[in-house]
Amino acid sequence: MHDDETFDFFLRDSKRQIIKGRIDFEPYARLYYLLFHKPELEAAIADRLVASARITDSEIDDDVIHDVTQLIAYEHDIEIPLLPRGSMEQEQWEVAWNKMREYDWKKQQGGRA
């Protein structure tokens, strides 16, 4: 997390590569609502983001995140609230998820994790 406005996200694609980006709160909340309820969709989301944005790191636009998240949710018959309010359990899960993926991302970059 960087400031009150933007949040880091980390996702593993189907090639086991970690993508990283920074997005505003609303798309972040929707993304992690979906992942909390269906973590097995992570690779599908990451693959779609990379294909949609044609990039692999940090430059994924908030609108792309929103569109991909909504499309994947629709395909899996999941309704995401306009502005999800996470439980304490979900917030703890988000922190743990990001720490694990950030650790893997740092290793992927060749740095010490």
Residue 93 inside a domain? The answer is: no
Question: Which amino acid is present at 102?
Answer: E
Residue 26 inside a domain? The answer is: yes
Residue 50 inside a domain? The answer is: yes
Q: What does the pLDDT read at residue 5?
A: 80
Total structural domains in the chain? 1
Segments forming the whole domain that contains residue 35: 6-81
Q: Across the chain, how many H-helices and E-strands are there?
A: 4, 2
Give CA separation, 66 vs 25, 26, 73, 92, 108, in Å.
Answer: 11, 9, 11, 22, 26
Q: What does the pLDDT read at residue 4?
A: 64
Q: What does the pLDDT read at residue 59?
A: 64
Q: What does the pLDDT read at residue 1?
A: 46
Residue 102 inside a domain? The answer is: no
Residue 40 inside a domain? The answer is: yes
Task: Give the chain's residues under pLDDT 50.
Answer: 1-2
pTM: 0.80
Give CA separation, 34 vs 67, 68, 81, 108, 109, in Å.
Answer: 13, 11, 10, 25, 27
Q: What is the pLDDT of residues 15-33, one digit of tens each?
A: 999 988 888 888 888 999 9
Would you give the distance in Å from CA 36 to the centre of its chain?
Answer: 10
Q: What does the pLDDT read at residue 44?
A: 96
Residue 58 inside a domain? The answer is: yes
